[in-house]
Amino acid sequence: MRAQFRFRIRLILGVVVCAALLILLRLYFIQIVYGDDYAQKADRQFASGGSGLFDRGSIYFTRKDGTPISAATLSSGFLVAINPQTLGDPEAAYAAISSAAPSAVMISHDAFLAAAAKRTQVYIEVAHHLSDGDGKALAAKAIPGVQILRERWRYYPGGELAAQSIGTVSFGSGDALAGQTGLEASYDGTLSRSGDALYKNFFAELFSNVGNLLVSAKDAREGDVVTTIEPEVQTRLEHDIAKVNAQYSSRESGGIIMDPATGAIIALTTFPAFDENNRQDIDPALLGNPLVEHVYEFGSIMKPLTMTSALDAGVITPETTYDDTGCIIVNMAKICNWDLKARGVIPMRQIIEQSLNVGASWVATQLGQEKFREYFTKMFGQKTGIDLPSEGHALLGNLSKPQQVGYDTASFGQGVAITPIQMIRAEGAIANGGVMVEPHLVNAIQLNSGITRSLDWSQTTPIFSAEAARETTDMMVALVDEKLQNGKAKIPTMSVAAKTGTAQLTDGHGGYYSNRFFHSFVGFFPAYNPRFIILLYTNDPQHVTYASETLDSTFLDLVHFLIDYYAVPPDRGLATTTPA
């Protein structure tokens, strides 16, 4: 009996061991030998790629109180497709679709009939962007050969608002929608979605990939983009820029409003712009962003930078004087003041206040070619690193040559070409105690994991001493208080620093037009602790010569708007009542 029991126990043990060995063998083949095949099979079975609906993260404006407002988001609705093989009456189907979905983006009547005639095909999309209600109403009609399918698409609630900066999404070289311009392109890695996360099988993940279920690498990468653009300020800037462009029939106009201490761009625009939600017939050239891609000769707004460089280098002081002769000859080229008039012996501040080219040239000569090149290369020699694609390089070729005329003309903003974003960054150094900051549009990423990741834009580049910057600021404040609009622009309780610029346009043959100009305007306030710096320009305005005529009202309108909107406290206590 005992021997029989032992035999049975050993038999059972043997069977168990054999079974275990077989299972081990099977596991070896499943996991090691054919592991990859099974993994792929499991993926196909349990974690297939969803329904193919478009998915993408949002881009937000940020109101002054911190409220995010969508700049780019997703809209969902339906698309309509036809099956020509089962479509009975194309005319009736077209009428039914167009009447049921009046707001849809639909192909023309002729194109619809041509599509319906393609009897060899079974699926042709004929209408997009149907609202939820329209789509369901059309589906309820159950028209033979007409399919109503879910669809999602990129939607820009602001339409034209900051269009060039927000950017566009379209099919590029691949077969997937991706960001092509603006922030859509710069942050494509954050905004794009792999598409299978939504429909993934929880249990399949639990058994096959528990690590991803708990800590997903995508959740640490994918998210929404939060910009520093304030929608109301952006709206105001766009309105003002469009008005200037229309008033003077300019070729183009643009503007940037930035916090000079942080580099956060609060608004930026160029005109003409385009409607992000309707890009069918727009000029492709409009899709780019001239504020970062194009270079311009800005004219006299360069003078404060020349002045600050010389003050910083110690070759002049605000009290230094020079003899202004009205015109000078340098390397056989004639350089004159805007009104061709001589001023005699005058101090440095008059160069800024009266915008004297001869004075700026004199300062450049005092600074010397090497120092001048050093300062300008520091300011404009590198890209700003702004988070927009295709940033352009400044053209500083004249500063590599020995002819003094190149430095003299550069001192008042001719002969060197700069991008607007480089220019506002450099001018921001005067406003920010001599330190250049990194201009940027995005300050945070809201990750899908729920974490908000702040971006680091704290890198600064010292250019001038704080004292040199303050001395130039004094000159720019004096310009606003005494010269701009003959002193009427002065705000008694707010110090505002500004400088106008008028540059002749190049004629494409190595010379300049005598009657075509590029106007620019830069200013910041409160002048000694600035919250905002504003750069404006208008290219080739008609029937007007000076920037003080075209852009001063726009600049002052923006200054007053920003003071009111942000309740900027007064920084000086002068007389309190002025005529309107």
Partner 1 sequence: MRNFSLHLPYSAVSLCAGAVGVLAVTYIGLIAVVMSYAALTVEFSQSVRNDETAVAGLESQYLAAMARITKTDYAAAGYAAPIAKVFVPAKSVTALR
Q: Can you give the binding site for partner 1, defined by CB under 8 A? A: 1-2, 5, 69-70, 73-77, 132, 150, 152, 155, 157-159, 161, 198-199, 201-204, 231-232, 235-236, 239, 491-495, 528, 569-574, 576-580
Three-state SS sequence of 505-525: EECCCCCEEEEEEEEEEEEEE
Beta carbon nearer to partner 1, 238 or 259: 238
Closer by beta carbon to partner 1, 73 or else 461: 73
Question: In the complex, what is the shortest distance from the CB of residue 76 to partner 1, in angstroms, rounded to a whole number?
Answer: 4
User: Contact 294/360 with Cβ under 8 angstroms?
Assistant: no
Cα–Cα distance between 301 and 569 in angstroms, integer? 27
Question: Which secondary-structure segment (H or E) carries 177?
Answer: strand 177-179
Helix axes 369-380, 404-411, angle to 10 degrees: 50
Residue whose CB is less far from partner 1, 508 or 573: 573
Closest contact distance (angstroms) between CB of 410 and partner 1 is 32
Q: How far is the CB of 435 from partner 1 (least distance, A)?
A: 21
- The least distance separating partner 1 from the CB of residue 63, rounded to whole angstroms, comes to 10
The residue (of 308 and 495) whose beta carbon lies closer to partner 1 is: 495
Residue 159 or 397 with smaller CB distance to partner 1: 159
Dihedral pair phi/psi, residue 439, rounded to 5°: -70, 140
Nearer of residues 249 and 578 to partner 1, judged by Cβ: 578
For residues 452 and 444, give the distance between their C-alpha atoms in angstroms, rounded to a whole number. Answer: 7
What do you get for the CA distance between the two ends of the chain, in Å?
Answer: 120
Q: Give me the least distance between CB of 94 and partner 1, in Å please.
A: 26
Q: Please, what is the minimum distance in Å from the beta carbon of residue 572 to partner 1?
A: 5
In whole angstroms, what is the distance from residue 83 CA to residue 146 CA?
6
268 within 8 A of 291, measured Cβ to Cβ: yes
- Of the candidates 144, 141, 73, the residue with the CA atom closest to the CA atom of residue 101: 141
- Rounded Cα distance between 205 and 250, Å, is 60
Q: Nearest distance from residue 389's CB to partner 1, in Å?
A: 25
| Cα(436)–Cα(449) distance, integer angstroms | 34
Residue 224 or 324 having the CB closest to partner 1: 224
